Structure 1
Amino acid sequence: MGFDGLCELCGFRWSSHWVLPCGEICHDIREGAPTDDDEAIARSLAGDLDAYEALVTRYSALAHRTAAMLGAGDEAEDVVQEAFVKAYRHLGTFRRDAPFRPWLLRIVANETHNLTRSRGRRAELVVKLTEVDPAKGEVPEDAAVATDRRSRLLEAVRTLPERERQAVVCRYFLQLSEAETAQVLDLPIGTVKSRTFRGLARLREGVARDLI
């Protein structure tokens, strides 16, 4: 898959119709683009690259966020690019009766793991704190307190053991279901539950209860 340009806002290399991590859509969707995953996958398997680009459009922002939060940091862009290429190459192995999103995010998670392992360092959790607009009803003092609480919570999440951190990030930061988290991390649901429980318990021990 080739790339057509570089987004000036987020620096993400884009191909036609991609939705970028900055939230911008660099090109309009072409007429006749598939409206659901099943149709897009079927057409992609038949060799329709535009149909696969529709899938990229649908999931690029989520994939980028997943890579960043699981440890790719400022290399999340490269991880996502490689994940989409690998997903396309292995699309024939995708079970058509299964949801596409967790299957794709599992590839993203694997690519992130490969990256952090090759670096030989602990994965870095990267989260952009949401800026609070005082005009929306929150006074500056409250916004400052909220930002401080988020910072302390994220610092506590960074200290979790990697397995527990991954489960907590998937469940509560990426808002995946237990079943989706199990597929993304390639774990039994029971293991997801236990790791999430232990991770939350550690967070409660490490930060004030009003942060949880």
Structure 2
Amino acid sequence: MARGGPIETADEAMVLARVRAGETAAYAELVTRHAPMAKRLAVLTGAGADVDDVVQEAFVKAYRSLSSFRDGADFRPWLLRIVVNETRNLHRGQSRRVDRELRVAREGAPLGGDPDPAEVAVGHERREALLAAIGTLPPELREVITCRYLLELSEIETAESLGIPNGTVKSRLRRGLARLREELAHV
């Protein structure tokens, strides 16, 4: 399995088979492959300063639940769903969730490898406005926007990661993008 590139389902299935056969060290391959995206998702869905704890707990829960993982299914959406659930559990009922998300994003939490030239061109002020606008969205819209556009998951991966139907992803995307357009029209 090559590091950094897209993981093939067959390669992933072989690694999962090795882990299930007792080769626990093979799980490190999955952690290495999926930890960066899991961390970005945790940051962008509100884990804040607890991002490392959320991701670690998600990987531990995934490992413990491998016996219930369906053969032939994609590991990444399954894992990301656990990350989302862990983040939700962490912040359930806390009113300062949006403030923490924005603070972590402003402090330079990893949003993906090298900076995108387009993002650099847009500038710091535009980025702040976008993050603030995303922060005003209700959690269900913010999570869908985060998965689709900040993590670049497909609609199907987003649906699987959030545990919602594909049609719900589409409707939440429409509503979320409409709210963002309205909010950013004044910037």
TM superposition score normalised by structure 1: 0.73
Structure 1 pair 116–46 and aligned structure 2 pair: CA distance change class (3 A): same
Q: Which runs of 5 or more structure 1 residues have no equivalent in the other structure?
A: 1-18, 24-34
- Percent identity for Structure 1 against Structure 2: 53
- Counterpart position of 1:96: 71
Aligned AA for 1:67?
A
| Residues 121-130 or 146-155, more deviating | 121-130
1:180 to 144, 157, 161: 157
TM-score normalised by length of structure 2? 0.82
Name the SS of the counterpart of 2:80 in structure 1.
helix
Aligned with 1:36: secondary structure? helix
SS at match of 1:110: helix
Matched residue, 1:123: 97
| Partner residue, 2:35 | 60
How many residues in Structure 1 have an aligned counterpart in Structure 2? Answer: 170
Alpha-carbon distance in 2 for matches of 1:164, 1:79: 21
Give the AA of the match of 1:48: E
Unaligned runs of 5+ in 2: 5-9
Q: Residue 103 of structure 1 contacts residue 184 of structure 1 at CA under 8 Å; is this kept in 2?
A: yes
Runs of 4+ in 1 over 4 A off after TM superposition: 142-145
Q: Which has the higher helix share?
A: 2
Q: Alpha carbon RMSD of aligned pairs, Å?
A: 2.8
Larger radius of gyration: 1
2:45–2:143 Cα contact (<8 Å) kept: yes
1:86 paired to 2:61: yes
Alignment partners' CA distance in 1, 2:96 and 2:164: 21
> How far off its partner does 1:120 sit?
2.4
Return the alpha-carbon distance in structure 1 between the equivalents of residues 64 and 47 of structure 2. Answer: 22
Conserved 8 A contact 1:70-1:123: no
Separation in 2, partners of 1:145, 1:110: 32
Contact conserved, 2:13 with 2:72, CA < 8 A, in 1?
no
1:164 aligns with one of 123, 130, 141: 141
